[in-house]
A and B are shown apart, each in its own frame.
Chain A
């Protein structure tokens, strides 16, 4: 593995460790809902502070179940990852093409 690839792998491992450590250390223990979303907690805090507050608008479309919602989140991530992969694929192909052309050019002249 090149030095570059090693650094990149290390970066990924660090990110994975940061995500897994809170789970492994059980930091969600003692909570009513371990590892709930912060957005939802903020909503709960609002209703707790201002029990009289009524949301005055509701979403036009709401995923009918947690499964459908997670599917749509996965779709969002997949779309993004797909475009990113396409970008790096195109770039790699162009570089290889340029290299091949450069290697072939001297032969064509002689």
Chain B
């Protein structure tokens, strides 16, 4: 989902930057508020950022015969709500833009919008919807992470289609092309990300149940995970 440096026309690059900035600023406030109110959250916040660091560094083969990487933003969005993830995702994208020439500074706004804003919000929305209905927690977590991952790549496809409409098929034609490159490749990776997020959430259930209860993810009573040990 990394749009390479210089690969968005200046106007598009600026527009996505303007669109992302308020989310990141709001996220930074939410992050400092969380750390001040609950200093014990710092460690788990670090772990959520670390999860994104690991997952977005792993390029995994996919059914389309190309490689792509998960985003790891679903976990943090579920634990700390999406605004916090806007910051953690931006840090990851900055690291990659500055050190790895992966993504870029001019395309940072667009990449932040897809990976650190749209993805986390979509995943969080799905997670909340499922949590309200009567499905097991881990099912909500799986689909939350799945959609955070997939929506990120769909947004990237839209961003590129808007900037580079197909000479013949227009924006829709370009969307089909970029969607074929990104979204299709991403499907199995989104499943992988869902499974890995469930795995980490299960480990957190064992190790940090109190934190999960405070964050509203786990309930005091209904936990087969805790009793099964």
Q: Which residue of A lies closest to B96 (CB)?
A: A76
Q: Report how many A-B pairs have Cβ atoms within 8 Å.
A: 182
Q: Which residue of A lies closest to B56 (CB)?
A: A76
Question: Which chain B positions have C-beta within 8 A of A28?
Answer: 61, 65-66
Structural contact, B3 and A61, CB atoms closer than 8 A: no
Question: Which chain B positions have C-beta within 8 A of A30?
Answer: 65
The interface size bin for chain A is 35 or more
Structural contact, A42 and B60, CB atoms closer than 8 A: no
Structural contact, B49 and A83, CB atoms closer than 8 A: yes
Q: Does B24 contact A (CB under 8 A)?
A: no
Question: Which chain A positions have C-beta within 8 A of B101?
Answer: 59, 61-63, 69
Residue of A3, A69, A80 with most partner-chain B CB within 10 A: A80
A55 with B6, Cβ < 8 A, contacts A3-B228, A45-B177 known: yes
Of B47, B96, B98, B164, which one neighbours A50 at CB under 8 angstroms? B164
Could you tell me how many residues of chain B have their Cβ less than 8 Å away from some Cβ of chain A?
73
A59 with B104, Cβ < 8 A, contacts A22-B62, A83-B50 known: yes
Query: Which chain A residues in 7-65 approach chain B with CB under 8 Å?
Result: 7-8, 11-12, 14-15, 18-23, 27-31, 34-39, 41-43, 45-46, 49-50, 53, 55-63
Question: Which chain A positions have C-beta within 8 A of B203?
Answer: 8, 88
A4 with B225, Cβ < 8 A, contacts A37-B68, A57-B105 known: yes
